[in-house]
Amino acid sequence: MAHAQQQLSRAPALIRLPGPIVRRLLRFGMPLGPNRVLTIRGRRTGQLHTIPLAVAEVEGRRWVIGTFGETNWVRNLRAAGEAELEIDGERRQVRAVELTREQAADFFTNVIVPYVARMPGIWRVGVQSLIKFAAPEIYSDPTTAADKHPVFELI
């Protein structure tokens, strides 16, 4: 999918700073809601970058959302087109297919909103709070959300 050059963004420090701890907990098998470990090859250096990300899993399909927009991991995943996804200690190579604007808007309305609504209490509250903080358009205007928050299906 072709993209207009957007300014690089960063997740707030409140999200970034616990990343190394969350990554270790996930690798040790600690269940942390929808969070999984994703390893992506850097687009410039070729070095591997391992980050914890929320992975929406619905009916055997998986997606990741660029909740904070055009971050480095989004650009790296777009460039690499593949990654390694770790779930419950098992690592799998996945292909990353970026959704079109129309597909992403439909995804927000018909997959993410119902998915979050079905989450267990504490995880639902946490994910809803994150969306309302970082990507409120997902609830109010999915088409605008699709312009700001890239979505990748992991196949």
Band (pLDDT 50/70/90 cuts) for residue 1 is low
Give the span between the Cα atoms of 8 and 2, in whole angstroms.
Answer: 16
Residue 5 has pLDDT above 60, yes or no: no
What pLDDT, on the 0 to 100 scale, is given for residue 79?
98
Residue 2 has pLDDT above 50, yes or no: no
What pLDDT, on the 0 to 100 scale, is given for residue 47?
98
Q: Could you give the C-alpha distances from 110 to 56, 107, 138, in angstroms and in order?
A: 13, 5, 11
C-alpha neighbours within 13 Å on the C-beta side of residue 96: 26
Residue 97 has pLDDT above 80, yes or no: yes
Give the span between the Cα atoms of 35 and 118, in whole angstroms.
Answer: 16
Mean pLDDT (whole number) for 37-43 = 96
Mean pLDDT (whole number) for 7-11 = 77
Residue type (1 letter), 80: A
- Homologous superfamily of 13-154 in CATH? Electron Transport, Fmn-binding Protein; Chain A (2.30.110.10)
29, two tokens: 């098998």
Share of the chain above pLDDT 70, in %: 88
Tell me the whole-structure pTM to 2 decimals: 0.85
63, two tokens: 């997606």
Mean of the per-residue pLDDT values of the chain: 89
The secondary structure of residue 119, as a DSSP letter, is: S
What pLDDT, on the 0 to 100 scale, is given for residue 24?
73
What pLDDT, on the 0 to 100 scale, is given for residue 21?
67
What pLDDT, on the 0 to 100 scale, is given for residue 15?
63
| 3 state SS for 50-110 | EEEEECEEECCEEEEECCCCCCHHHHHHHHHCEEEEEECCEEEEEEEEECCHHHHHHHHHH
pLDDT one-digit tens code per residue, 44-71 = 999 999 999 999 999 999 999 999 999 9
Give the span between the Cα atoms of 7 and 18, in whole angstroms.
Answer: 24
Residue type (1 letter), 154: L
Share of the chain above pLDDT 90, in %: 72
User: Is the dihedral angle over the CA atoms 125, 12, 148, 78 positive or is it negative?
Assistant: negative
What length is written for the chain? 155
